[in-house]
Amino acid sequence: MPKAARSSRSRRQDLPRPYLPNAKIDEDQFWLSTELGSGTYGVVYKARVIPPKDSDLMTKEGGYEELERRKNEFQLVAMKEIKFTNGSTAIPSSALREMGLLKELKHPNIISLLRVVYQNFKLFLVFELATEDLHSYIHRTKTNGTRISEATAKVS
């Protein structure tokens, strides 16, 4: 069973010249490419991790074209930008709960939280990228007339 992404129903939308040059953690940078979906608590983007040795491509002339040419070399991730309520700079309690739970949960059927990025009053949760979300998986298995096996659904 593919891992379940934690986002609302997907709607794909391409972003122009997609990159987030100032979002750094451990010197990696993240190149945002596509909005995967949005919900009450945030927006989820598909992104690529740009390692330190290639980070100059994010800002130099012609770097965007080089990134595009070499894009398959970079790890794909999902980045969830957490919405702050009413212009507040305090991290929402729902995001704190999500981060706490996902740091503890380790299971093949639960998406992994890889990193947390907080910069310029923006909070991003960096996840492994799933092929589909839980809602789509359940709908697909229901439509195909199959059921999710107990072994797949059970967390021991």
Helix and strand element counts for the chain (H, E): 4, 9
pLDDT value for 1: 44
pLDDT value for 8: 39
Is residue 52 within 8 Å of 28, Cβ to Cβ?
yes
- The three-state secondary structure class of 68 is helix
CA neighbours within 13 Å on the CB side: how many for 18? 18
Average pLDDT over residues 59-78: 85
Q: Return the higher-pLDDT residue of 102 and 3.
A: 102
Q: Is the confidence at residue 75, as pLDDT, over 80? A: yes
Domain residue spans of the chain? 4-153
Q: Return the higher-pLDDT residue of 64 and 97.
A: 97
pLDDT value for 156: 61
pLDDT tens-digit series, residues 82-141? 888 777 777 888 888 889 998 888 888 788 999 888 877 788 999 999 888 788 888 888
Residue 9's pLDDT band (cuts 50, 70, 90): very low
d(CA 94, CA 96): 5
pLDDT value for 7: 40
d(CA 89, CA 121): 6
Residue 155's pLDDT band (cuts 50, 70, 90): low
pLDDT tens-digit series, residues 13-57? 444 334 444 444 445 788 888 888 888 778 999 998 888 788 777
- The three-state secondary structure class of 18 is coil
Pick the CATH number of 4-153 from 3.40.228.10, 3.30.200.20, 3.40.50.720, 1.20.120.1200: 3.30.200.20
